[in-house]
Amino acid sequence: MGYSEQMLEVFPHNWTFDNGYMHPGDKPGLGIEFDEKLAAKYPYEPAYLPVARLEDGTLWNW
C-alpha cells in the first residue's frame, strides 16, 4: 500500500492484503496504535496552504 516506512513505524498495524481483500487481523479493537516516542522523531512542519481570507479573517473565494 502507499504508506511511507516512517508512517508504518509510527502506526504499527496488524492488517494484511490477500488476493485484493483486506484482512483486519486478529487483535481486538479498531486496530489503531500510535507510538508517541517514535512520532517525536518526526516533528510537524507547517506547509503552505493557499487560503483566501479578507482583512477581517473571513474566508472567501474558496
The pLDDT-based confidence of 62 (bands split at 50, 70, 90) is: low
pLDDT at 1 over 60: no
> From CA 7, how far away is CA 31, in angstroms rounded?
15
pLDDT at 40 over 90: yes
For position 4, what pLDDT does the model report? 86
DSSP 30: S
pTM listed for this prediction = 0.52
For 4, 11, 43, 57, the CA distances from 36, given in Å and listed in that order, are: 17, 9, 11, 34
| 3-state secondary structure at position 6 | helix
**Could you tell me the three cell numbers for 44?**
510537524
